[in-house]
């Protein structure tokens, strides 16, 4: 499941809306919407994302959060390490090999550490 898919499912459940009802309202198939929620489809187009935001009638902060989650929800990301340090290529390959073996706590810890280190000013 992608970050956007998890949030969409939570919004549907909070509002008591079935996948089929939401799909009909958005004029997409329930199979597509299910695949979007489960990460078997890439992030939605900007147009569809806007329709999802409108469907849930969310406030601006939450609409921005859905847009941010959509940007982080490509389940088939490609990382080009050409021209970077050898450690970048090694890290990318190790992560690709191990990601399916990591539990949620491991993934959260790695994400948190990456965010912390990436936000530090470079000296």
CB–CB of 39/2 below 8 Å? yes
pLDDT at 121 (0 to 100): 82
Distance CA 99, CA 96 (A): 6
pLDDT at 77 (0 to 100): 84
Length of the chain: 123
pLDDT in tens, 61-107: 999 999 999 998 888 888 999 999 999 999 999 999 999 999 999 99
pLDDT in tens, 34-64: 999 998 888 899 999 999 999 999 888 999 9
Distance CA 99, CA 116 (A): 20
Distance CA 34, CA 77 (A): 20
What ranges do the domains of the chain cover? 3-71, 86-119
Enumerate the H helices of the chain as residue ranges.
3-15, 19-26, 30-38, 46-56, 60-71, 86-98, 104-119
Question: 55: number of CA atoms within 13 Å, CB side?
Answer: 22
pLDDT at 105 (0 to 100): 96
Q: Between the CA of residue 68 and those of 19, 50, 73, 99, what are the distances in Å?
A: 22, 13, 9, 22
What's the CATH fold of domain 3-71? 434 Repressor (Amino-terminal Domain) (1.10.260)
113 DSSP assignment: H
């Amino acid at each position: 499941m992608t970050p956007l898919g998890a949030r969409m499912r939570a919004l549907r459940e909070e509002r008591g809306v079935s996948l089929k009802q939401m799909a009909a309202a958005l004029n997409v198939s329930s199979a597509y919407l299910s695949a979007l929620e489960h990460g078997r489809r890439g992030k939605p187009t900007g147009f569809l994302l806007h329709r999802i935001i409108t469907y849930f009638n969310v406030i601006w902060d939450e609409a921005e959060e859905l847009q941010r989650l959509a940007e982080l929800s490509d389940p088939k990301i490609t990382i080009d390490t050409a021209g970077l340090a050898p450690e970048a290529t090694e890290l990318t390959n190790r992560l690709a090999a191990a990601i399916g073996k990591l539990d949620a706590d491991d993934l959260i810890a790695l994400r948190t550490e990456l965010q912390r280190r990436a936000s530090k000013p470079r000296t």
